[in-house]
Amino acid sequence: MSTDASTGNKRKPQWSAATSHKKRHVASTAKGFSAVLVTCDKTKERQCVKDILNILNDAADVLYPKKDHKVVDATAADNAATADDDDSKPTKTSADLLQEEIAGLKKDAKDRKTGRFSALDSGVKGIILVQFLDESMDVKKVIDHIFEQVQKTMEFSSRFIQRMIPLEKLCYPSVEDITACATPFIERHFKDTSGFSVEVRKRNSGNIVSMDIINACVDVVGSQHKVNLTAPHVVIVVEIFKNVCGVSVVTNFHQYKKFNVRMILDPPAKEPKKDQDDNKDEHKQQA
């Protein structure tokens, strides 16, 4: 607890500047937004934050390119300036245009660093939540692009990131809030699709029962669609961590190995199947 130097009175920690700054960067402040839940080694969180922000920005640059600042040829600019000498309006020289270009590039660099995504404290070790600040971006589209590139190239620019789970919306972890949050996403995917499952994962959460969430989601889907736990076409993803919940409805959950990049790059070796004759010999020996 800090102390006021002038009066000697102790100040409550929640009023200190450091604590106030920390509260602005916790996952609970992002409810209503979309986000990516990133898992990593508990000792590599700082490096993973840098990695995931770079990876997301690279994907966003491809999927959501900003309008390019036009680079005007210096000779053409000078010619235009000469042709407009008689005009009353002031003309821009090539130097002016160059300065505008530099300013535009600086703004783009700043936006890339702070304008699209924000890494938040999830309250759980080894879990990073990255909020999408730009609501025009589709979190599933961005994550799909990243995994498509991983599967295509078998390369990934982070050694420590394990999972990258898209969460279409964050909400409070109650059955009522989760149902309300998931309903529009479910209705979008279940018009003519059958075979689904519900994946619920809880980390450092309260007393909410996973089966209650599953039953509520199944009721929203309706009895005309069958639960398929082995090869579902659609998966309703519910991730709960501390006092925050993220919901998504995806069609590539198993294709992307439950959004586990390590399982794609370093799949576990398959155990060789025992020959039937070998099994018979084993049974004979046991007999």
d(CA 226, CA 9): 64
d(CA 246, CA 258): 15
d(CA 241, CA 246): 9
Summary mean pLDDT of the chain: 81
Closest to 231 in 3D by CA, of 269, 194, 180, 259: 194
Residue where the block lists tokens 């920390």: 22
pLDDT for res 133: 95
d(CA 260, CA 146): 12
Domains, in order of start, for the chain: 15-69+112-265 (3.30.2130.30)
The two three-digit tokens of residue 49, written as one number? 């934050």
pLDDT for res 215: 97
Q: pTM for the complete prediction? A: 0.73
d(CA 130, CA 132): 7
pLDDT tens digits for range 117-146: 999 999 899 999 999 999 999 999 999 999
Residue where the block lists tokens 């579902």: 232
196-203 and 161-167 beta bridge pairing = unpaired
180 confidence band (pLDDT: 50, 70, 90): very high
pLDDT for res 110: 53
- How far is CA 26 from each of CA 45, 133, 157, rounded to the nearest angstrom? 15, 14, 26
Half-sphere exposure of 117 (CA within 13 A, CB side): 26
Backbone angles phi, psi at 244, to 5 degrees: -130, 145
pLDDT tens digits for range 5-25: 545 555 444 433 444 444 556
216 confidence band (pLDDT: 50, 70, 90): very high
d(CA 203, CA 242): 7
Residues near 232 by beta carbon (within 8 Å), at least 6 away in sequence: 195, 196, 197, 253, 254
Among 36-45, 93-102, 205-214, the minimum mean pLDDT is found in 93-102
